Structure 1
C-alpha cells in the first residue's frame, strides 16, 4: 500500500513538474519576444494567457495536491479556505475558456482570409481587432471571476478526518488543505456541479470541436479551390492547416483527460461505490495531463516558439547546441 502511494505520488509529481517547467518556458519565451520586439502576435497573446492560466492552476492546486499526497498536513483557516476554493474554480474555468479562445481566434483568421496584425505597445497600433481581442481576453478573466465569487459562501474548513462528499469538476478532486464544499443541501450541491459541468466544461468543449472542424473544412475548401481565393492564400494554406492540426491536437489532448475526469467524478457524485477512491485518483491525474503535455505540443507545432526555444538552449551551454 505504501509503495503504491509512493508510485502514484512520484508519477503525479513528474506530471506537475513537466507542466510547470513547460509552461514557464512557453510564457517566458513569448514574454521575452514581446519585450524585445515591442509587439506580439495575437495568437501568441492567447497562448501566453493560456500558459499563465496553466501555471496558476499548477501553483495553486496541482503542486499542493502533490505535497498533500506526500503526506504534508497543512490546514487553512475558514477564510483562506473560501479564498482558495474560489481561486481553484476561477483558474480552472479560465483555463478551459482560454483554450477555446485559441481555437475561435484561428477560425476567425481563416474566415478573414488575411493574417492577424501584431499587438504593439504604441496607441496607433491598437487596431479595432486588437481591442476586440483584449476585450475578449479580459472578459474571460473577469466573467469567470464573477462566476467564482459566490463560491465564497459554499466552502469551509473541514475537520481532520473530513472527506469530500461532492466533487465539482472545476475544483480539486480531494479535500485539500482541509477545505471542503459546504452547500446547504446535497441537491443544491449537485445542481451547482451540474451547472458548472455544462457551462464551464461541456459548452466550451463543444465550441472547441465545432470551430476547429469548421477551420479544417474551410482550409480543405481553400486547398481544392482555384481562382481568387486560392491566389490570395498561396503560401498560408499549408501553414494554417498545420496550425489547425496543432490546435486540434491540443483540443483532443484537452478532451480525453477531461472526459476521463468527467466520468470518474460523476460516478463518484451519483453512484458511489468501492471503486470511488480509485476513480478520484484517475481524475486527479487526468486533470493534470493537459497542463503537462500542452507545452510539448506547442513546442513541436509552433515553429517560432520552437526556434526561440532552440536559440535559448544554445545560449544555455555549449553542450546543448543540438537540442531539438
Structure 2
C-alpha cells in the first residue's frame, strides 16, 4: 500500500474510532434518560438528533472509506457511490442545521418569562417534531444532485472536464454552470446556519457576561452572604459559556476550512484531477462529527452524570443551567 493511501486510511480510522463510540454514547445516554424519566426536554431531544446525524456522517462515510482504503470491502459501485454521497451530504448538513437549532433554542431560553421570546421558545418546543421533519426534507432535497451525478468509475477521461474526483467515487456534472450552481447551493446551505448560529451564540455569551457582572456586584454588596449558591450558579454559567465557545469555534474552524477548499476546488480547474483536496474536505467536515460528542459528554452535566452513575435517580432541573448545559 502506498504511503498516501496508508495515511488516508489512518486518518479515517481515527475519525471512526473517536466518532462512532462517542456518538453512540451520547445517543445511549439520552435514550436511557428518556426511558427512565419517561420524557426528554426539547434541548436534549435536539442534542440526541444531532448525535444521530453525526453518527451517520462518521459511520456511513468514514467507516466505508476505511474498508475501501485497506481493501477489506468495496461498496463504491455506481449505486454505492450515489447512496454514500447522498447520505453523507444529507447528514452533514443536518448536523450543521441542528447545531443552529440548538444554539437558537438556548438563546431563547435566556429570555425573561412572559416575554415574546419566551413564547417563541414554547412554540419551538411544541413543534420540534415538525422542525426535524422540515430539516430532513430540506436537506435531502438539496442533496439529491448526488444521486443523479455520482459514479463509481472514471473510465472516460472526458468526465473530468466538469467533475470532481473523490478517490473511490466521481461526481460528474453535465456543465460547468451546473457544477458551480450546485457548489454555490452547498456553500449557502452551510454558511447561512453557521452565521445564524454564531449570532445566537454571541447573544448567549453577552448575556452570561452581563449576568456574571451582576452576580459579582451583588456578591460584593452582600458582603459574601449566600456565596455558595452564587458560586454554584457562576460555575454553571462558565460551563455553558465554555461549551458554546467550543462548539462555535469548532464549527468556524472545521467547516470554514471545508467550505474554503470547496470554493477553491470549484474555481481552479486543475484541482479536479486530484482527490487530495476532496479527502481534506471530507476529513475536516467529518472531524466535527467525531469530536463534538466529546464536548457534549464533558460539558453536559446530565450526560456525564448518566455515564458515571447511570442508575442514580435524578430530579429534573428547571433552570438556565438545564438549557445551556446541554451544549
- The TM-score normalised by the length of structure 1 is 0.77
2:258 corresponds to 1:261: yes
Q: Which residue of 242, 247, 250 maps to 1:245?
A: 242
| 1:36 positional shift | 0.9
State whether residues 166 and 269 of structure 1, in contact with CA within 8 Å, keep that contact through their aligned partners in structure 2. no
Which 10-residue stretch deviates more, 252-261 or 2-11?
2-11
Distance 2:263 2:269 in 1: 9
Q: Which residue of 173, 177, 181 maps to 1:187?
A: 177
Relative distance call for 1:278 and 1:61 in structure 2 (3 A) is: closer
State whether residues 216 and 241 of structure 1, in contact with CA within 8 Å, keep that contact through their aligned partners in structure 2. no
Q: Give RMSD over aligned pairs.
A: 3.2
What is the aligned partner in structure 2 of residue 36 from structure 1?
36
Distance 2:74 2:155 in 1: 10
Distance 2:33 2:212 in 1: 32
Distance 2:176 2:50 in 1: 33
What is the aligned partner in structure 1 of residue 207 from structure 2?
218
Distance 2:279 2:89 in 1: 19
Length, aligned pairs only: 290
1:180-201 C-alpha deviation (Å, 9 max, x unpaired)? 3232212211111112111x21
| 1:287 positional shift | 2.0
What is the aligned partner in structure 1 of residue 12 from structure 2?
12
2:135 corresponds to 1:146: no
| 1:308 positional shift | 1.3
Stretches of structure 2 that go unaligned for 5 or more consecutive residues are 115-121, 220-228, 313-327
- The TM-score normalised by the length of structure 2 is 0.77
Relative distance call for 1:312 and 1:6 in structure 2 (3 A) is: farther
State whether residues 219 and 237 of structure 1, in contact with CA within 8 Å, keep that contact through their aligned partners in structure 2. no
Stretches of structure 1 that go unaligned for 5 or more consecutive residues are 115-126, 168-172, 315-324
Distance 2:34 2:142 in 1: 31
Structural mapping, 1:1-324, within 5 Å: 2-72=2-72, 74=74, 78-112=78-112, 128-159=123-154, 166-167=163-164, 174-176=166-168, 179-198=169-188, 200-225=189-214, 238-273=235-270, 277-311=275-309
Distance 1:113 1:220 in 2: 20
Relative distance call for 1:166 and 1:211 in structure 2 (3 A) is: farther
State the SS of the aligned residue for 1:111: coil
State the SS of the aligned residue for 1:293: helix
Distance 1:3 1:83 in 2: 28
State whether residues 167 and 275 of structure 2, in contact with CA within 8 Å, keep that contact through their aligned partners in structure 1. no
| 1:151 positional shift | 4.2
Distance 2:254 2:68 in 1: 22
